[in-house]
Chains A and B, each alone.
Chain A
Amino acid sequence: MTAPALVEARGLSVAYGPAAPVLSHVDFTLQPGEIVTIVGPNGSGKSTLLRALLGMVPGTAGSVTRAPGLRVGYVPQKLHLDPNLPLSVARFLRLNRKLTGDEIAHLLSRVGAPGLEERALATLSGGQLQRVMLARALAGNPQLLVLDEPTQGLDQPGTAAFYRLIEDVRRELGCAVLSVSHDLHVVMSASDRVVCLNGHVCCEGTPSVVSNAPEYRALFGLGTGGALALYQHHHDHGADHPDHPHDHETCDHDH
């Protein structure tokens, strides 16, 4: 239980320029193998926390400690894909990394996107692109998989399928998964721990603890309690949420 943390932040504050800090006094710890989701409204500093934890933006106060030699697989929020940049999936996977054709084929079939090697990246669907980015993140056999709003632009079945894939991958590799989402519907049930962020840590705990926490409800409203239905419907199946009919449509996937 007291294995050294993969990433640890103590009293972390981040500000961009002279403006009010995006994050203030955040304490955060990630243990090996943990699945942690950071949720929060737009502008709550979710992505900033992720970047600060990875050392991509400097903190203005506090400290961030990463395990020595930590292998991180990072899935960015989006790519800047100019249509005039001819880039195949295989070449994208090889950017700054040496991979054989076999390794690429294996990675692609691992993420459920076999045979895409020669496709141009710009022609992939949103779901295919997410899988390819995940394949890239897995290439270095990461101890920590980091996903920044990974299901943006995916529909609900696509989102559910993508998160199932993440869970499979995690079971296989035993890596920790740190993701950012305002996509509470799916992510929460897959998580060991949810951190609710709004410039500071509002509350954290298991998905059910957080979804019942008054701080969380104040931030997201009561209605989202039904959001857990998609994945954790066995926990709160009895509850009926007439204001969220969509969640029930997608329940079918897990029955």
Chain B
Amino acid sequence: MIIDAFVLRALGAGLLAALATGPLGCFVVWRRMAYFGDATAHAAILGVALALGFNVSIFAGTLVTAFAMALMVSSLAGRGWAMDTTLGVLAHSALALGLVAASFLQGVRVDLEAFLFGDILTVQVSDLIAMALGTAAVTALMLWRWEALLTATISEDLARSLGLKPEREGMILTLALALVVAVALKVVGALLIGALLVIPPATARVMARTPERMALGAVAVAALSVVLGLMASLWFDTPAGPSIVAAAAGLFVLSLGAGRVVRA
């Protein structure tokens, strides 16, 4: 059986995204940052439009806008509006602004659907290199700051008493989130990155007894979702990004059943 090169590239891209999203997704779940992740991911569309408009790399454009968005959310937090109101305003504004900005790009054919829902089957080697670098950076950040991030998540005061700076750890998570958005944009698209951040950790939670196993489990679940989603996409000719997320959702439902058995 011959596997086409584009399938292998797609698989590589998906597995890189799984590796990047798993551990960070755990912090998104533990710190209840799911909407924060969504807002950051939605800003990626604006990043794509700006990158195409100014003719710079889409990866870089996405990374910068997502980081700017995350910084804006952090600085607006606690300024009178409830966090979910702030996030609701920013997430949808960023998405709408991105879509409007993209419409101004004349002469450039922008396949918006590819950026909203991912386009993993057209991943090029150059994309893969950028994604690998991004994933390596996220993984390094997670490994380097793991204990500190975990401590700051459980108690900011405890972290401070150990000489850690919770604000700095929060900034590191923000940076990692922007990197993950840039890595995963091609895989599942801006609208579904949030799903890839939350569903695999939630699935891994059932079996995990330690934070580390939950993170590894999330990577495994995300990787399995990528494989299943890609296979479904090739066999049934369904869109790849949504198929990957649908596979993750299916695994989550299975984990609920398994959890019931484990507890029984």
Contacts and interface: CB of A to CB of B under 8 A. Distances in A.
Contact of B209 (A82, A86, A96): A86
A54 B157 CA distance: 11
A88 B210 CA distance: 7
B211 A85 contact: yes
Nearest to B156: A80
A51 B157 contact: yes
Contact of A85 (B154, B157, B202): B154
Given A86-B214, A87-B211, A96 B153 contact: no
B157 A86 contact: no
Interface stretch (A71-79, A109-117, A167-175): A71-79
A87 B154 contact: yes
Contacts of A84: 29-30, 201-202, 205
A150 B164 CA distance: 22
A74 B29 contact: no
B162 A96 contact: yes
Contacts of A85: 30, 153-154, 211, 214
Contacts of A95: 147, 150-151, 154
B158 interface: yes
Contacts of A76: 155, 157-158, 161
A91 interface: yes
Contacts of A247: none
A56 interface: yes
B155 to A, nearest CB: 5
Contacts of A51: 157, 160
A56 B211 CA distance: 26
Contacts of A96: 147-148, 151, 162, 164
B157 to A, nearest CB: 4
Contacts of B213: 86
B32 interface: yes
A239 interface: no
Interface string A90-121: 01100110000000000000000000000000
A54 B32 contact: no
Contacts of B209: 86, 88
Interface in B110-165: 147-148, 150-151, 153-158, 160-162, 164
Contact of A79 (B32, B154, B201, B211): B154
B160 A56 contact: yes
A7 to B, nearest CB: 13
A204 interface: no
A88 B213 CA distance: 12
A69 B214 CA distance: 36
B208 interface: yes
Contacts of A91: 210-211
A19 interface: no
Contacts of B158: 74, 76, 79
A79 B155 CA distance: 5
Nearest to A118: B209
Nearest to B201: A84
Nearest to A120: B209
Contacts of B31: 82
Nearest to B154: A79
Nearest to B213: A86
A82 B208 contact: no
Contacts of B32: 82
A63 B31 CA distance: 35
8 A-B pairs with least C-beta separation = A74-B161, A76-B157, A56-B160, A85-B30, A76-B155, A86-B208, A76-B158, A82-B30
Given A82-B31, A84-B29, A96-B164, 20 more contacts: A51-B160, A56-B160, A74-B158, A76-B157, A76-B161, A80-B153, A81-B154, A82-B153, A84-B201, A84-B205, A85-B211, A86-B210, A86-B211, A91-B210, A95-B147, A95-B150, A95-B154, A96-B151, A146-B161, A148-B157
Interface of B: 29-32, 147-148, 150-151, 153-158, 160-162, 164, 201-202, 205, 208-211, 213-214
13 contacts: A51-B157, A54-B160, A56-B160, A76-B155, A77-B157, A80-B155, A82-B30, A84-B201, A85-B211, A86-B211, A87-B211, A88-B209, A96-B151
